[in-house]
Amino acid sequence: MGTLKGKVALVTGGSRGIGAAIARRLAHEGAAVAITYAASPVKAAEVVHGIEAAGGRALAVRADSADAEAVRSAVVQTVKTFGRLDVLVNNAGVATLAALEELSLAEFDRLMAVNVRGLFAATQAAVRHMGEGGRIINIGSTSSDGALFPGMAVYAATKAAVAGLTRGWARDLGPRGITVNNVQPGPVDTDMNPADGPLAAGLKGQIAVQRYGQGDEVASMVAYLAGPEGAFVTGAHLKIDGGLTA
Ligand SMILES: NC(=O)c1ccc[n+]([C@@H]2O[C@H](COP(=O)([O-])OP(=O)(O)OC[C@H]3O[C@@H](n4cnc5c(N)ncnc54)[C@H](OP(=O)(O)O)[C@@H]3O)[C@@H](O)[C@H]2O)c1
């Protein structure tokens, strides 16, 4: 506890699910935490109030990741409010599963805009404020390395793009003392992929530990990467999937 005292973090898509768990954990470690949200202002406010009630500092900013200007503005608001920016967690993401013939171009564009373009815009804006010790943590997915069932192609492609950006940025930003990593969850129990949802029955049997992960478990890996102990880890693709891909 306290590994992020004095640091400032921005978590995109922090109103629910994995992002909310990451925001709470980074705050628990002492960071002031800003979160973005698009459609869930009440949930975003609950995350902020929870952090404040525990003695931390937090801010929620509405910023649809598909809107690059809104994302840039969220970075600026974070720096204005908390004075600096040390950690960016690119977590906001959407998933649509559909057969090739059924996924519209508009939906293709939305997946790319939120999962890839928004992540690019956030990182580009954030690194302007980061110095030695900065951390970019992308939330990718195991699906970038293997599509386990039909209908995942475009989602998987967005997460493959995240993996590629991680590699390139690790090289670009390493000389500035900024690390860039790709955390790749397997099935995690959230609104996107509920442990009692339609995908669960097929997935559980393939997970070595035979259960879904929890947002808090992903948040632990993010806290490690964000903290001083993670300083020599960069350009890494870290699976946290209960052995789904073992
Ligand atoms: N759950 C899994 O099994 C799993 C596995 C591998 C990877 N992931 C990845 O983990 C990340 C989080 O997933 P999750 O399971 O926590 O999903 P979730 O439960 O659906 O939550 C998604 C979060 O992202 C936000 N968000 C969605 N669209 C947004 C947009 N256009 N702009 C800004 N924020 C947006 C949501 O906020 P609002 O409600 O306010 O829009 C919410 O806070 C995603 O990148 C996902 O691809 C999830």
Q: Residue 62: helix, strand or coil by DSSP? A: strand
Predicted pLDDT at 6: 98
Q: Is the CB of 95 under 6 A from ligand 1?
A: yes
Predicted pLDDT at 199: 87
Q: Residue 87: helix, strand or coil by DSSP? A: strand
Residue 230 falls inside a structural domain: yes
Predicted pLDDT at 198: 87
The residue whose C-alpha atom lies closest to atom 1 belonging to ligand 1 is: 188
| CATH number, domain containing residue 189 | 3.40.50.720
**How much distance in Å is there from the Cα of 175 to the middle of ligand 1?**
31
Domain of residue 213 covers 8-240
Residue 231: CB atoms within 10 A of its CB come to 13
Mutate to test the pocket of ligand 1, among 190, 203, 238, 244 (most ligand atoms within 8 A of CB): 190
**How much distance in Å is there from the Cα of 37 to the middle of ligand 1?**
9
How far, CA to CA in Å, does 140 sit from each of 58, 120, 159?
Answer: 24, 13, 5
User: How would you classify the pairing of strands 135-139 and 87-90?
Assistant: parallel
Q: Is the CB of 90 under 6 A from ligand 1?
A: no
Q: Is the CB of 78 under 6 A from ligand 1?
A: no
The residue whose C-alpha atom lies closest to atom 18 belonging to ligand 1 is: 192
Residue 182 falls inside a structural domain: yes
Residue 1 falls inside a structural domain: no
Residue type, 95: A
Residue 245 falls inside a structural domain: no
First and final CA of the chain: distance in angstroms? 31
Q: Residue 144 burial by CB count (10 A; 0-12/13-18/19+): exposed, middle or buried?
A: buried
Predicted pLDDT at 169: 98
Residue 85 falls inside a structural domain: yes
Q: Is the CB of 158 under 6 A from ligand 1?
A: no
**Shortest-distance atom of ligand 1 to CA 114:** 31
- Which H or E run includes 238? strand 237-240
- Count of domains forming the chain: 1
Q: Is the CB of 241 under 6 A from ligand 1?
A: no
Q: Is the CB of 213 under 6 A from ligand 1?
A: no
Mean pLDDT by 10 residues, the chain (246 residues): 95 98 98 98 98 98 98 98 98 97 98 98 98 98 93 98 98 98 98 94 93 98 98 98 97
Tell me if residue 155 is catalytic.
yes
Exposure string of 118-134, with b = 16+ CB inside 10 Å and e = fewer, is bbbbbbebbbebbeeeb
Residue 216 falls inside a structural domain: yes
Residue 213 falls inside a structural domain: yes
Residue 64 falls inside a structural domain: yes
Q: Among candidates 10, 34, 20, 226, which has minimal Cα distance to 119?
A: 10
